[in-house]
Amino acid sequence: MRRPGIRFFRIFVFVFMIGAIYFIGTFMHTPISQVFYTPAFLKWICLHSANTLFPSVSYEEDPSENETGGIIAELCAKFLFPVASQRQTALSGESTLTALGETVQASENNAPSAQPPAATQPSDTQQPSAVPTEEPAAEASTTGVLGIIPNQTVKTGQTYALSDLNYSFLLNQFFTLDPTTAIDESLLNASSLLEKDLHLERADAPQILIYHTHSQETFVDSVEGDPSTSIVGVGDYLTSLLTNVYGYNVIHDTSTYDLIDGELDRNRAYSLALDSVEQILEQNPSIEIIIDLHRDGIEGNKMTTFINNQETARIMFFNGLSRTAKNGAIDYLYNPYISDNLAFSLQLQLKAAEYFPGFTRPIYLKSYRYNLHLRPRSLLVEAGSQKNTLQEELNAMEVLAELLHMVLQ
């Protein structure tokens, strides 16, 4: 029989731990909060507390068999910790970005595997659609697997005041600066970047163009020769979400730019894509937003986070500055919209920090242009990597679509 003093001590320790974790998860935004402020850890604490509060099961037995402990766990998850599942983030280390650019040789990591394993096909409700509807549809109740409800996402992260976003904090907190390039306060100014109005009205004419400079990028479970399981299929799903759920008018260009005479050639891909995209824009001058959708090539572990309890690929926004650290501006890669490009990436990044903490990696800044000069709101997105599954990528598109809508509405 347990002594009352020991029981009271355990209750005190339990309450103290719950309070401490609640404080960390609510008011602190550090890696330690991502480790401890998770449903699994909270459930472990609640289940084991049952032995202290309701000793109907001995401590040596499985505490999950204690029904009272299960009730306590559910109450904790429902009432005390409603945002814990949003904070469950994989803490794998950031990997070095594979070089992308007009004159940079691609890493072998970016090339598709010669014999990738067979992919697990998503269900009919998850399949990406290659053809958007002609008429913008009314907003649907949810976007898919993650169950995101447009305009009803709960804020679970941190909101930054403009006074906090000085140059040094902005650069260190939200960006990764490649050694080949340089940036200064005149370009990375939070006030000027955040005051830019990126609002987009719905229209019957095409508004958004999605394409893939590197259409041959695949995933760990892609099926060789099946583009629906590659980055192109992921683009299909993003197109479907933006069109059918959010009501935008989207064109998805599925052309191949990184295969020359059957050989993978990413050095010329940006030049080939430029000619084609310019032609699309000439035929559709109403297009205001361009998204070049990639997947990264990395070493080390895959990078995922948990959104609504679903493992989701992390994404990274990528900006070219058309300048080198050594020689300054690259005149032959002139981009009049560098500031606008940065504003688009930063506003999306801050929305992600507010509503989906852990979903985005720091914005990567590099020296070339990457065809981001074609529209002020041009965006290059690295969605996951070759180590992610197709479903993790599709999940990421549901979050990206919601973020785009938050910034554009």
Q: For the segment 250-274, what is each residue's pLDDT rounded down to a tens digit?
A: 999 999 999 998 899 988 999 999 9
Q: 153 with 260, same domain?
A: yes
Handedness of CA 240, 241, 247, 253 (dihedral sign): negative
Q: 83 with 130, same domain?
A: no
Q: 73 with 136, same domain?
A: no
pLDDT value, residue 46: 53
Instruction: Report the percent of the chain where pLDDT is more than 90.
Output: 62
Q: Which domain holds residue 270?
A: 120-408
Q: 16 with 158, same domain?
A: no
Q: 132 with 224, same domain?
A: yes
Q: 325 with 246, same domain?
A: yes
End residue of a domain, out of 64, 87, 110:
87
pLDDT in tens, 154-213: 999 999 999 999 999 999 999 999 999 999 999 999 999 999 999 999 999 999 999 999
Q: 233 with 149, same domain?
A: yes
**Closest alpha carbon to 211 in 319, 312, 289:** 289
For residues 344 and 16, the model is more confident at 344
End residue of a domain, out of 87, 111, 130:
87
Q: 244 with 330, same domain?
A: yes
Q: 283 with 357, same domain?
A: yes
For residue 179, the domain's CATH number is 3.40.630.40
Lowest mean pLDDT: which of 2-16, 132-146, 226-240?
132-146
Dist. CA 233–CA 85, nearest whole Å = 28
Answer yes or no: is 96 within a domain. Answer: no
Answer yes or no: is 100 within a domain. Answer: no
Burial class (CB in 10 A: 0-12, 13-18, 19+), 282: exposed
End residue of a domain, out of 87, 110, 129:
87
Averaged pLDDT score across all residues of the chain:
78
| Long-range pairs, 195-203, Cβ under 8 A, ≥24 | 196/339, 196/340, 196/343, 196/347, 198/343, 198/344, 198/347, 198/377, 198/407, 198/408, 199/408, 199/409, 200/248, 200/288, 200/289, 200/408, 200/409, 202/136, 202/247, 202/248, 202/249, 203/249, 203/286
Q: 130 with 69, same domain?
A: no
Dist. CA 348–CA 333, nearest whole Å = 25
